[in-house]
């Protein structure tokens, strides 16, 4: 079974440019998460989807960040415009169904560098 797929793996952009990250969760996993992990820190949740519905986006900086999961499968996270402080690893994770005991499977992440 394929794991969570993310692309690109690395992205270098100049500040004020837009950037987009793509995630394809494990087949059949209804819940999808986007996390941001800064150097030396643990992942922090940005947004959680149940199928195509964003059920928790309280941590998403909505002035510049947006996300979508139109068909309840793959998802895109966008930043426009990017700022220097957005440099981080963006992780996508999925679970079969949300609940306190379900394992979250993480993708390899996208390392973003904003110059």
Residues binding other proteins (CB under 8 A):
33, 40-45, 48, 55-56, 58, 91, 98-101, 103-109
Q: Which is nearer to other proteins, 29 or 48 (CB)?
A: 48
The answer to whether the beta carbons of residues 90 and 36 sit under 8 Å apart is: yes
To the nearest whole angstrom, how small is the minimum distance from the Cβ of residue 11 to other proteins? 15
Q: Which is nearer to other proteins, 66 or 106 (CB)?
A: 106
Q: Which is nearer to other proteins, 81 or 98 (CB)?
A: 98
Classified as helix, coil or strand, 109 is coil
Non-local (6+) Cβ contacts of 19 within 8 A are 11, 13, 78, 79, 80, 82, 112
């Amino acid at each position: 079974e394929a794991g969570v797929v993310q692309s690109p793996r690395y992205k270098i952009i100049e500040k004020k440019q837009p950037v987009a990250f793509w995630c394809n969760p494990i087949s059949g996993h209804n819940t999808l998460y986007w996390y941001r992990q800064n150097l030396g820190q643990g992942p922090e949740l940005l947004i959680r989807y149940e199928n195509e519905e964003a059920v928790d986006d309280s941590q998403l900086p909505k002035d510049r960040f947006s996300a979508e999961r139109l068909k309840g499968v793959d998802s895109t996270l966008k930043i426009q415009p990017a700022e220097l402080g957005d440099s981080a690893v963006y992780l996508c994770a999925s679970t079969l169904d949300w609940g306190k005991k379900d394992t979250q499977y993480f993708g390899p992440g996208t390392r973003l560098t904003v110059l």
